């Protein structure tokens, strides 16, 4: 009997990760879209996520970075988070998929991670306010990218060299999103040293 690769068994764990992060990210994006509509109807409205001088969705939404492509950024999340949900369901159904499919999906997750990393840097270091729903989107995108990428490497999508690295890293895949979270947390505490006392 040959040694089993991560793709031999139905990958329930990664499918659940895709479903949970996709669903939560979709919900957060939907709430942001609703808040955008509320602001369009009443620009003076105080949103439920405007909770302190530092945690204020309204000011983040009003920034240029909040409409990078000429429309509200949450619309990207509303469309994008459907993909991991669909892929998660497909994995549970037993889909194997062509190599190009997994590379394309991973590329999409990488672009999403780059985008939320840029949004994080802009929000913390330039806009100067935090948005709870935005941070929930970040917190879902981060493990979605890191864990899936390592799993995708381990299954051999990127070749034997990457597969060896992926298999080595897979038991520790949780450490990468954790490190990413720590960078964000430390950055927030540096820029907003009194943020904890205002929550």
pLDDT digits (tens, 9 = 90+) for 20-42: 999 999 999 999 999 999 988 88
CA–CA separation, 147 vs 153, rounded Å? 10
Question: Does residue 81 belong to any structural domain of this protein?
Answer: yes
Radius of gyration of the chain (CA): 19
How do residues 109-163 score in pLDDT, each as one tens digit? 999 999 999 999 999 999 989 999 999 999 999 999 999 999 999 999 999 999 9
Q: Give 4 or 184, the one with higher predicted confidence.
A: 184
Residue 118 lies in a domain: yes
Of 13, 19, 31, give the one whose Cα is nearest residue 135: 31
- Cβ–Cβ under 8 Å, residues 150 and 170: yes
Instruction: Give the separation between CA 100 and CA 122, rounded to whole angstroms.
Output: 33
The answer to the question of residue 141 being in a domain is yes
Q: What are 73-83's pLDDT values in tens digits?
A: 999 999 999 99
Percent of the chain with pLDDT over 90: 73
Q: Can you give the residue range of the structural domain that contains 167?
A: 12-189
Whether 36 and 72 have beta carbons less than 8 Å apart is answered as yes
- The set of residues, in sequence order, having a beta carbon less than 8 Å from that of 87 and lying 6+ positions away, is 18, 105
Residue 2 within a domain: no
* Cα separation, 104 vs 106, whole angstroms: 5
For residue 147, what is the domain's CATH number? 1.20.1440.130
In angstroms, how far apart are the furthest CA atoms of the chain? 67
60 within some domain: yes
Count of domains forming the chain: 1
181 pLDDT higher than 70:
yes
Cβ(165)–Cβ(18) below 8 Å: no
Per-residue model confidence as pLDDT tens digits over 91-104: 999 998 899 999 99
pLDDT over 50 at 6, yes or no? no
Is 3 within the bounds of a domain?
no
From the number of C-beta atoms within 10 Å of its C-beta (0-12, 13-18, 19+), residue 120 rates as: buried
For residue 56, being part of any structural domain is answered with yes
11: pLDDT confidence band, cut at 50, 70 and 90? very high
Q: Confirm whether 7 is domain-assigned.
A: no
The whole-angstrom separation of Cα 72 and Cα 57 is 13
Q: Does pLDDT of 196 surpass 60?
A: no
């Amino acid at each position: 009997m040959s040694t089993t690769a991560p793709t031999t068994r139905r990958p329930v764990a990664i499918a659940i990760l895709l479903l949970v992060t996709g669903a939560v990210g979709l919900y957060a994006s939907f709430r942001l879209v609703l808040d955008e509509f509320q602001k369009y109807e009443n620009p003076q409205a105080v949103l439920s996520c405007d909770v302190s001088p530092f945690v204020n969705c309204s000011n983040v939404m009003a920034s240029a970075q909040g409409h990078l492509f000429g429309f509200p950024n949450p619309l990207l999340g509303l469309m994008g988070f459907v993909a991991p949900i669909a892929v998660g369901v497909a994995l549970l159904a037993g889909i194997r998929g062509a190599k190009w499919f997994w590379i394309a999906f991973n590329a999409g997750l990488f672009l999403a991670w780059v985008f939320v990393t840029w949004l994080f840097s802009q929000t913390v270091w330039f806009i100067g306010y935090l948005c709870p729903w935005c941070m929930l989107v970040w917190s879902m995108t981060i493990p979605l990218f890191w864990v899936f990428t390592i799993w995708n490497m381990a299954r051999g999508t990127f070749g034997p060299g990457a597969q060896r690295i992926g298999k080595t890293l897979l038991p520790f895949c949780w450490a990468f999103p954790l490190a990413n979270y720590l960078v964000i947390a430390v950055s927030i505490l540096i820029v907003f040293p009194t943020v904890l006392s205002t929550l």
